[in-house]
Amino acid sequence: MPITVNKGYDDAQAHNESDRSSYIYKDLNLFFTKHPLTADVSKVTDVQAIKRSVRNLVLTNKGERLFHPEIGGGVKGSLFENFTPIAEIELESAITHVIKTYEPRVRVEKVIVNNATAQDLDTNQLRIIVQFSLVNIPNIIEEVEVFLNRIR
C-alpha cells in the first residue's frame, strides 16, 4: 500500500491566481492605502511586489535597517561623488551584489547607472535602471527605474 504525504501546500497551489507559477508573492503597499472592501492596508502582489523589493534594496543605505545593517547599495552616498566611469562601475557592482544577495526571487540581467543629461553633473542627479528576470519566469525581462536627485 503506497503512502502519500501531504506537503501542506497542495491546497494553496490549487487556488493560485497566477498562471505562471505555484507562488504568489505578496507585500504590503508602502503607501499604506486602505483597501476599499476590507478597510485593511492594501497589498501588492506578484511582479509588482518584487519590483518594490528591488527598488527598496537599491535605495537602502548600509546601516538603515535595524537588525540587518549590512544591507544596502550605497546609492544615495554617491550623489555627492565625482561621477567618473570607475564610480559608475563600482555603483553598478554594488547594486548587483545587494540584489543578488538579498533578493533570491530575481536574476539580475543588467544594471545601468548614468546621468540622464549632461547638466545633471552639476545638479547631482542619477538615473539607475535595473533589468532582471524572475527566477520562475526566466524569459521575461522586467525593469525598475530609479531616478535620484539631491534635495538641497
Q: What's the pLDDT score for residue 11?
A: 38
Tell me the sheet residues that pair with 34: 41
Q: What's the domain range around 56? A: 47-149
Q: Which three cell numbers stand for residue 29?
A: 503597499
CA 115/CA 97 separation, integer angstroms: 21
State the pLDDT at residue 5: 38
pLDDT of residue 102: 92
Which parts of the chain fold into alpha helices (H)?
Answer: 10-14, 46-59, 85-102, 120-123
Our count of domains for the chain comes to: 1
pLDDT at 138: 83
Residue 119 lies in a domain: yes
Q: What is the pLDDT of residue 118?
A: 53
Which pLDDT score, from 0 to 100, does residue 124 have? 66
- Asked if 26 and 41 count as a contact pair (C-beta separation under 8 A), the reply is no
Q: Does 8 map to a domain?
A: no
Q: Is 10 inside a domain boundary? A: no
For the chain (152 residues), the mean pLDDT of every run of 10, in chain order, is 41 44 64 73 78 89 86 78 82 93 92 68 77 88 86 63
Q: Could you tell me if residue 30 is inside a domain?
A: no
Q: Considering the entire predicted model, what is its pTM?
A: 0.72
Distance CA 126, CA 95 (A): 13
Structure confidence at residue 99 (pLDDT):
94
User: What is the spatial distance between Cα 49 and Cα 103, in angstroms, rounded to a whole number?
Assistant: 12
**Burial class of 134 by CB neighbour count within 10 A (0 to 12, 13 to 18, 19+):** buried
Q: Who contacts 51 (Cβ-Cβ below 8 Å, separation ≥6)?
A: 142, 144
